[in-house]
Structure 1
């Protein structure tokens, strides 16, 4: 089996080799991979903009391990090319995410995979109809298609189809357009809906021939009657009928949202219909479009082989969904019905059980270890969860003597991972065991999956203890103390421990890298927290460090972090108060404002807080007593120094050491302070800091907009920035006077603005910054002109930005220049434009940011989370 990198390299080396047309046939993995090394066309070979190096970078940024790429490529190439995947592309995707879509498809093409694309054009059709004075009509959610509408739709579908085909050809992908003659249909109801079709058949021979000759098929959702009349068909319906005809391994629906979402607004990672469908459909929040989508997908999967799955994902996440265990969007499959055992007699074949247990173990004493484990199970309570073929097996020892239930065994084969039985089992475990503890080797190749299933973890000399459902602080403390003192025996398995003499193994053995098991632990404790963005799994769970560094938070009582806000009258202070109110692990205790002293703080619901007028002496005494875990200085420039020095004074002779986050510019150039821009500064540095300088709003957007190209700079970048008037503060001035700003734009500090120096010092490159203020309230737009030291294309540059910010939840790389109105009220930064001039040595990049959120309050909370031991994004609605 070739690695992904090897496939890409060899593919790039043999692009000119042609393949002769042949019959449709199942292609073994090696043959299919060899085919990825060739370019199929009767025309001369052409270079592709997606270089081999770029592909490797793209792969590594999207995939968590080479092992996953290899196993999924092996899976996909084990069937005929026509049965790889059907991908439905909505019209909005073609308009807003064309580049992401084309890059993803080009990647698949290069590794020898040929998805079949079916696209719609609904949003574009609505716009065109409006331009032609035709009002769109819908009956029961189906577009009424009269003669004029059909004529406009035909032209539009041709145009959109060729747009996608041409974009793919520019990437070196041979694509074949199919605008008609694939779907056979009859009228759905001519009197009611006009020229709308119901698919009655699929002419798949043309598709198979195209793929066999090395072309990616691009289909519209238009159909024909037997008499040749063109009919309009819903693209979702067309994709489903195509899937029924071809029986692919994957059916993919590309979505701007990137998946289905639950009642709390969290993306649903995976749905196993056999286990979860009835329960899911009984939930109050499953209604309207979500309910219909799940129902339609179930009806589709019921007609397809059990191995087929449906994925609802964002176009930019296609590789991650296809080539990782963790996935990216919502994965829906029929799943496998689980079986259960509470005694050894429940297993049909005890020898088969032993073989399952031994597959995770190596060494001469493996048989003896398993036999002892079987003897232990004969005498003790347990519950086993497994599928019919035992591709996955979990054994849980119940809660006993005040100890949590223990996951003593979890072994998964390669097939078990690929068919998602692991998630299926864990869903069952969470239903039956409100608390669960288990251990895994620290170097387990699938460690990220375990982090996703846990609420907390502790590393102990090469092994990791995970737990979920343990919410009582005293229980958490006891669990961790027992773990560090007693190792595996603390899990309530001392009898098992003595029987196995510490010989049970945890992670996959060298001989069996596709399965997982468990082992005993050594004794040296090391506290650890998963790094956000590095752990990627099917179900995103906010990771909270259950035991942050001593002195930053009370590590024995696990009380919420106590926060004091000095200067809360301004817009930023109010936004931060709102974020803290929604944060599950922060408690705002004090808010200081001289003007508002004595009044009740509005907008904070956790407790009643009265504005105070805290003096530096008050701050010193509170710090000395250890009353506050984090001080946030939300004061104007040049004002907070006495309060910071008061915190320093209070630390003297005290074991307590709080965190300070300063929102002003006072300490941004002080090397003893940590600069708090997590996307560009090492997060470990912020996590270890006790004094953090929060970046400026203009400066944050500018740095993120320039940083990926610093090594390619050919001169000084020029930043034209425009802010809404909230950036000028609440104190009346011409810069926040709406009447003065109406029909106007005001430049200020044309040279030497403090953010100019801030950006330059952080990037290590001189920049020119010209700030302006305009009449909107919030939001900043930067237009940045960047000279380059070499000729580059727009596509090259955009790829650099996508690679640099892959996994950053608060940075979104888009195609077009982003708009201020789209970033207002959001917590991240959007970067786009990437237009290169004729010389190829100057690019214009645009960036937008909400100056009150990511430009101030949200970034402050990121820094607080990191420094106080929480997940970086806890309490922050990510983009």
Structure 2
């Protein structure tokens, strides 16, 4: 007996709850809904209808046409300046300007006018360094003296004009509003100098720009009443702008594309009223993440409940705004939920009746509800609702071999707009591991239920949904009961069958597939009913431990097929050992010229013989679709003919394998994805078909420096020492044990390829001096890092702990880590954190097994992600 409302939109909310249900079960909400006043045509440029239709069609590539149209209707239901405030950081302007402008051009074309406010922090640091001005910070706030302010003012004007010009090139009329938009007082002149605290926003200038058909582009510079320019943090400026405009959306564009949980997975959504206290109690929610969530809560507490905050990558802006699934992290207030297990738990039974009646049609609505309440008096149930009862769900518990059933779900317009529906379903997922419910096939919000479900089956106009049922015989029986008895089989009273017609037993059921969001965390697909596992914006600490089938192998039950080109070396042998233990990867070809014809040792899942595959062989195998993943374990400069062969094979085949190259050949090629999952967005790796595996030295060095890049006060110097396995199997002085005994060999003292690799990836120059020592495996780095502000050892360690919280293969320790403790292990240890007496230099130590996390283990991480398996599948974590 599932009911829901017929309201058309949820403001600012999303993921699963955009399209609102009409009539789904026993009760059907028909609230009186006042149409919001449409926004004036003078408030925005009139968009040509054919152009709008074209853009809607284009946006439909990231979501359904209905999703796009409904979100457009929602966003245009308010005055245009209340659509969205978008904060753009300086790094976005530098690295992702084209993607940003393309996304804004889409919004502009469909008549949406976000208010843009941007910063320029990284650019300012560079200019100050060039001007010989050393940046100073106090309590995390930049001290702005007269020289700094002068540089900042010119920079902001330049960046503002550059953004406006780029938008104009894409056909977007943009208005530069670089000054006069924020009124401010000194935050504390003695302490921070020319830093402002915003006291007012010039809304009129913003509204005028939009009314004239221009996107307003603001800087975060402010002015005092007497005209003194002050520097204001861009996040602070965006928050004050949001408080003044009260938009539906506040968007923070981020290179990372969201917040991440303890397992390193992106948090899809946070409902603050329901989850804030829980989050603040979690060990992994600390430092930067903790501060961000706290600041956003403080902002949303001052805004209407219809406002939500999104943290998103600029390239995913359309998906974030126009789909239920979104792409970044959505943060909203929501509402706290109450629960009841008996009718006496409700404070006002008449109010409960009214809630149930409002969803019923026909003259007998009250009588039907009375019968339903009589049924609830005699049977177990659990109800979930918010205090004003804008949302109500009733679950009948599992018993007598039947699964728990969602019998009633009724939501008012206010309930949708304040995201209570999402909160309720999150709670249902936590408290009911298995759940079944039915919905009418013509329900206009059917996709919301698909998003919440793991599978469905259709019968005579009804759709039965479920999640959490992993027992195949139980699931098959459930579907058989539904096809034979229809929705009546879910009812625990005669009321259900009296309210709905019986299903036609002779009809043939139609299996449906629920749309999934995640490419990283799907559970196995059963072979009889076809259903995918959706991962919407659920409870942030939940993870899916079950291994999926690979995305390149999603329709098959067999493991993904792997070919290893160049298997003789130490790394190849380690990878073979890992593949032997992997439940979803099968090694089908190994190629080595020297070992061709010999049996592969160390692989027990099948008999495999070494081959000497030529590029022509590789091309033909790719054409026939025989390989899902090619691993190139060849020396530098050797693998190009094989990669080109894969490219050639793809031209005449719909099959597209994944390539992972362990050499340095493609680490500087921007068309390849750099495969360091702890520092590169995992979503990028999940979509990649060609991955450059990082070097061993480079992996440890990057992980050892990356958390401090924004705090660098000069060039880091890396003193690296490797065991002789890093020199390979070809005889040389660097792997001659006799020569290495009582010795250490420095080499490539400048310009080592890993020096260039680390500098390129971090965006900051480093100096690297490699050495080889007498032990077999393992690398130690001692890294001296200049700082741009005074820090303590504890400050630095906390930065690292925060950055790597939830990373299973990175361990932050106190003392300097030792090589002998990392040998044979699959991760990296980082420690030391000794700060000199000036507080401006820290020494960080990092260790890594060069054959595992430095090569084979990292390769397997990348393979797992690219093929759609759980990242750590087959990897014993630290």
Q: Does the alignment reach a TM-score above 0.5?
A: yes
- 1:267 is paired with a residue whose SS is coil
Shift of 1:122: 0.5
**CA distances 1:793-850 after superposition (whole Å, capped 9, x unpaired):** xxxxxxxxxxxxxx99744799xxx999799989xxxxxxxxxxxxxxxxxxxxx9x9
Residues 417-456 of structure 1: matches in 2 within 5 Å?
417-440=416-439, 446-454=445-453, 456=454
**CA distances 1:229-276 after superposition (whole Å, capped 9, x unpaired):** 211110111111122222222221111112111111122222222222
Query: How far apart, CA to CA, are the structure 1 residues paired with 2:232 and 2:857?
Result: 43
2:222–2:229 contact (8 Å) kept in structure 1: yes
- 2:380 is paired with a residue whose SS is coil
**CA distances 1:256-310 after superposition (whole Å, capped 9, x unpaired):** 1121111111222222222221111111111001111111111112222222222
Query: How far apart, CA to CA, are the structure 2 residues paired with 1:346 and 1:444?
Result: 32
Query: How far apart, CA to CA, are the structure 1 residues paired with 2:638 and 2:613?
Result: 25
Q: 1:290 to 1:386 in 2, by over 3 A?
A: same
1:250–1:311 contact (8 Å) kept in structure 2: yes
Q: 1:489 to 1:135 in 2, by over 3 A?
A: farther
Q: 1:230 to 1:385 in 2, by over 3 A?
A: same
- 1:266 is paired with a residue whose SS is coil
Query: How far apart, CA to CA, are the structure 2 residues paired with 1:183 and 1:284?
Result: 38
Confirm or deny that 1:611 pairs with 2:607: no
Q: 1:120 to 1:694 in 2, by over 3 A?
A: same
Shift of 1:75: 3.2
2:459–2:486 contact (8 Å) kept in structure 1: no
Aligned to 2:64: 64
Shift of 1:164: 1.0
1:694–1:860 contact (8 Å) kept in structure 2: no
Q: 1:637 to 1:447 in 2, by over 3 A?
A: farther
Query: How far apart, CA to CA, are the structure 1 residues paired with 2:856 and 2:602?
Result: 23
Q: 1:34 to 1:536 in 2, by over 3 A?
A: farther
Query: How far apart, CA to CA, are the structure 2 residues paired with 1:83 and 1:326?
Result: 23
1:28–1:77 contact (8 Å) kept in structure 2: no
Query: How far apart, CA to CA, are the structure 1 residues paired with 2:150 and 2:547?
Result: 66
Residues 89-238 of structure 1: matches in 2 within 5 Å?
89-238=88-237
Aligned partner of 2:527 among 539, 548, 551:
548
Shift of 1:399: 2.8
1:457–1:464 contact (8 Å) kept in structure 2: no
1:28–1:79 contact (8 Å) kept in structure 2: yes
1:32–1:112 contact (8 Å) kept in structure 2: no
For CA contacts below 8 A with separation 6 or more, give which structure has more relative contact order. Answer: 2
Confirm or deny that 1:667 pairs with 2:655: no
Query: How far apart, CA to CA, are the structure 1 residues paired with 2:145 and 2:363?
Result: 76
Aligned partner of 2:473 among 449, 472, 477:
477
Query: How far apart, CA to CA, are the structure 2 residues paired with 1:436 and 1:858?
Result: 33
Aligned partner of 2:38 among 21, 29, 33:
29
Aligned to 2:457: 459
CA RMSD of aligned residues (A): 5.3
Query: How far apart, CA to CA, are the structure 1 residues paired with 2:619 and 2:689?
Result: 28
Aligned to 1:501: 497
Query: How far apart, CA to CA, are the structure 1 residues paired with 2:331 and 2:408?
Result: 26
Shift of 1:637: 5.4
**CA distances 1:545-592 after superposition (whole Å, capped 9, x unpaired):** 342369xxxxxxx999896989776757755865886x7x64989999
**CA distances 1:352-390 after superposition (whole Å, capped 9, x unpaired):** 656655666768987776565444323211122223454
Query: How far apart, CA to CA, are the structure 1 residues paired with 2:288 and 2:578?
Result: 31
1:344–1:377 contact (8 Å) kept in structure 2: yes
TM-score, normalised to structure 2, is 0.62
Q: 1:249 to 1:30 in 2, by over 3 A?
A: closer
Query: How far apart, CA to CA, are the structure 2 residues paired with 1:33 and 1:354?
Result: 45
Shift of 1:120: 0.3
Query: How far apart, CA to CA, are the structure 1 residues paired with 2:350 and 2:72?
Result: 33
2:39–2:78 contact (8 Å) kept in structure 1: no
Aligned to 1:833: none
Query: How far apart, CA to CA, are the structure 1 residues paired with 2:562 and 2:662?
Result: 29
2:43–2:211 contact (8 Å) kept in structure 1: no
Shift of 1:193: 1.9
Q: 1:280 to 1:491 in 2, by over 3 A?
A: farther
Query: How far apart, CA to CA, are the structure 2 residues paired with 1:590 and 1:811?
Result: 23
Query: How far apart, CA to CA, are the structure 2 residues paired with 1:347 and 1:613?
Result: 62
- 1:258 is paired with a residue whose SS is coil
Aligned to 1:798: none
Query: How far apart, CA to CA, are the structure 2 residues paired with 1:359 and 1:389?
Result: 14
Query: How far apart, CA to CA, are the structure 2 residues paired with 1:575 and 1:452?
Result: 37
Q: 1:188 to 1:28 in 2, by over 3 A?
A: same
Aligned to 1:776: 664
Q: 1:452 to 1:38 in 2, by over 3 A?
A: closer
Query: How far apart, CA to CA, are the structure 2 residues paired with 1:209 and 1:100?
Result: 27
Shift of 1:461: 4.2
Q: Which deviates more from structure 2 when the two are superposed, residues 410-419 or residues 91-100? A: 410-419
Query: How far apart, CA to CA, are the structure 1 residues paired with 2:406 and 2:639?
Result: 63
Aligned to 1:309: 308
Shift of 1:432: 3.0
- 2:264 is paired with a residue whose SS is coil
Query: How far apart, CA to CA, are the structure 2 residues paired with 1:394 and 1:212?
Result: 43
1:36–1:110 contact (8 Å) kept in structure 2: no
2:189–2:195 contact (8 Å) kept in structure 1: yes
Residues 695-706 of structure 1: matches in 2 within 5 Å?
none
Query: How far apart, CA to CA, are the structure 2 residues paired with 1:546 and 1:695?
Result: 21
2:195–2:232 contact (8 Å) kept in structure 1: yes
TM-score, normalised to structure 1, is 0.62
Q: 1:85 to 1:495 in 2, by over 3 A?
A: closer
Q: 1:663 to 1:51 in 2, by over 3 A?
A: farther
Aligned to 1:395: 394
1:407–1:438 contact (8 Å) kept in structure 2: yes
Q: 1:638 to 1:208 in 2, by over 3 A?
A: closer
Query: How far apart, CA to CA, are the structure 1 residues paired with 2:524 and 2:142?
Result: 51
Q: Which deviates more from structure 2 when the two are superposed, residues 275-284 or residues 197-206? A: 197-206
Q: Which deviates more from structure 2 when the two are superposed, residues 355-364 or residues 296-305? A: 355-364
**CA distances 1:720-749 after superposition (whole Å, capped 9, x unpaired):** xxxxxxx463xxxxxx2x6xxxxxx67976
**CA distances 1:430-452 after superposition (whole Å, capped 9, x unpaired):** 34334433344567554554455
Shift of 1:119: 0.5
2:305–2:417 contact (8 Å) kept in structure 1: no
Residues 403-414 of structure 1: matches in 2 within 5 Å?
403-414=402-413
Confirm or deny that 1:758 pairs with 2:737: no
- Runs of at least 5 residues in structure 2 that lack an aligned partner in the other structure: 1-6, 10-34, 530-545, 549-556, 673-682, 701-760, 762-852
Shift of 1:398: 1.8
Shift of 1:332: 1.6
Q: 1:569 to 1:548 in 2, by over 3 A?
A: farther
Aligned residues: 644
1:527–1:547 contact (8 Å) kept in structure 2: no
Query: How far apart, CA to CA, are the structure 1 residues paired with 2:86 and 2:189?
Result: 29
1:271–1:332 contact (8 Å) kept in structure 2: yes
Aligned to 1:767: none
Shift of 1:318: 2.2
2:459–2:483 contact (8 Å) kept in structure 1: no
